[in-house]
Amino acid sequence: MSHRIAAERKGNIVGRQKRSKHLRIDESFWVWLESPTTPMHVAALATFETDGEPAAEVVRRILADFRKRTDVDPRFRTVIRMRRFPRRARRALVDDIDLDFHLRHHTLSAAGGESELAQLVSQLRSSRFDTRRPMWQVHVIEGLSGNRFAVYLAAHHALINGVDAVRLLSRSLATDGGAPVATPVWTIGRPRPTDIEARRATKSRPNPARALFAAAKAVGTLFLAWRTNAPLTGPFTAPRSRLNVDIGPRRRVCTASIDLNRIKDLSKASGASPNDIVLAACSTALRRYLLDIGGLPDKPLIAGCPVSIAAPEGSNADSSIGIMFADLATDQPDPAARLTTISRSTTAAKNHQAALPHAAPLPYSILAMAPHTIRQLTPGAVERLAPAFNLIVSNVPGPSQPRYLAGARMAGLYPLSLLFKGEALNITAVSYAGRMHLGFTACPTALPEVQLLARYIDDAVDELEDRYATAIPDLPKPA
């Protein structure tokens, strides 16, 4: 049975266009970079544990209830009209949606674990969206061992960014295990500002010229940071590495998880932020992996770290994504020295951006990423020019309390991001209910057995705990 929303229009996939307008420049960025080897969609993988009820029964109940929800929010009825740089892409709102196309059901061939689930998700990550339709899908996956199932949400980055995707997923799930089936993500709209917030936003509109001037000046400082001994790290100081080669269309996905209390204890013992601890764990695991495959460069790897830029107060727009650069200190064998360098680098980047006036962070990020964008769009530039950074490492805050779907508790939440040309690895972390979950997205032709990298994360935390054991009360020294 086909579950088509609104009036049926045979042969017309997108239906009648209600409105059409340009995307913002930062949204069009993701359209410009779309290519056969670089699909620009972000995703989240959530695993659920049932409370005694067979997982197959819970999945059937979820699918039955989800298929009844045909009240699709405009965000999920938006078709993006792809256009080449420098023309901004357009969005068109459509009347009808074929829900059977966007909501998919999978059953693993045998009761599987993380490896079988990762294989399926890797296949899904390797596929591009049909640009004639709204570019999003929800996959419900059963057949996992331990009476578990999974939900995989994917959407084009121009439609929704990773930070807002985590927030949206959190809003769609219940906070009570006894609640009925939660609201599907495609029915959830953007929060609307109150009248007071809207009036306040109108009165406090920033001066665009002042914001642009301040952003340009700050970007100039960033690009010249390499001339000084200051810890501020700028783009294009990254070395060439095994991470920065031609990539193909295939993707390999793997996951890892860390107890958040371990990260907090290390933060207290070292004086570094929890985000720095996550970066240090990723850096340590990455150093070991590159040593394994004979690809560790002499110079330190540089991470591009996305930062969330909140929408103006009183606006119902999504947040935007900015960027900062962090020295991962992979050239340093001592884990404490590595963490110190990372912390100094991220602190300098935060202080640098904190000095920007209101409304300047977004133009700052666009200007800072402009050379990277041009490098991506210019044929042959990726092979000829040094990378702006070696990989993306991002950290997204998730819900602190457990979430439920049809009575099943969400056990894990793994963000999965995208790859740029010449960048074969992306690491994204999200905190949820006392754990830090990490999702790794890689090009398997460039990075063989990348699942080893995920396995090395726990060892990396052990190494840091061993180094700071005397500074953490009651912390047993790792064996």
Lookup: tokens for 199: 């009036």
Chain-centroid distance, C-alpha 49:
24
What single DSSP character describes residue 189?
Answer: P
Q: For this structure, is 157 an active site residue?
A: yes
**C-alpha count within 13 angstroms, C-beta hemisphere, residue 385:** 18
Out of 41, 139, 156, 157, pick the active-site residue.
157
What single DSSP character describes residue 213?
Answer: H
Beta strands (DSSP E) in 273-373 are 302-309, 320-327
Please measure the distance between the N-terminal and C-terminal CA atoms of the chain and give it in whole angstroms: 57
Cα–Cα distance for residue pair 70/118, rounded to 1 Å: 30
Tell me which residue of 371, 125, 69, 114 sits closest to 248, measured CA to CA.
Answer: 125
Residue type at 321?
Answer: I
Lookup: tokens for 445: 């032709």
Residue type at 62?
Answer: I
The 3-state DSSP class for residue 447 equals: coil
Cα–Cα distance for residue pair 79/74, rounded to 1 Å: 10
Residue type at 6?
Answer: A
Question: Is the CB of residue 448 less than 8 Å from the CB of residue 423?
Answer: no
Cα–Cα distance for residue pair 354/467, rounded to 1 Å: 32
Is the N-terminal amide bond of 86 cis, ω within 30° of 0?
Answer: yes
Cα–Cα distance for residue pair 39/122, rounded to 1 Å: 13
Cα–Cα distance for residue pair 48/403, rounded to 1 Å: 9
The 3-state DSSP class for residue 403 equals: coil
Question: Is the CB of residue 456 less than 8 Å from the CB of residue 284?
Answer: yes
DSSP string, 467-479: HTGGGSTT-PPP-
Q: Quickly count: other Cβ atoms within 10 Å of residue 277's Cβ.
A: 26
Residues ≥6 apart with Cβ < 8 Å to 245: 422, 424, 446
Cα–Cα distance for residue pair 80/69, rounded to 1 Å: 23
Q: Could you give the residue numbers annotated as active site?
A: 157
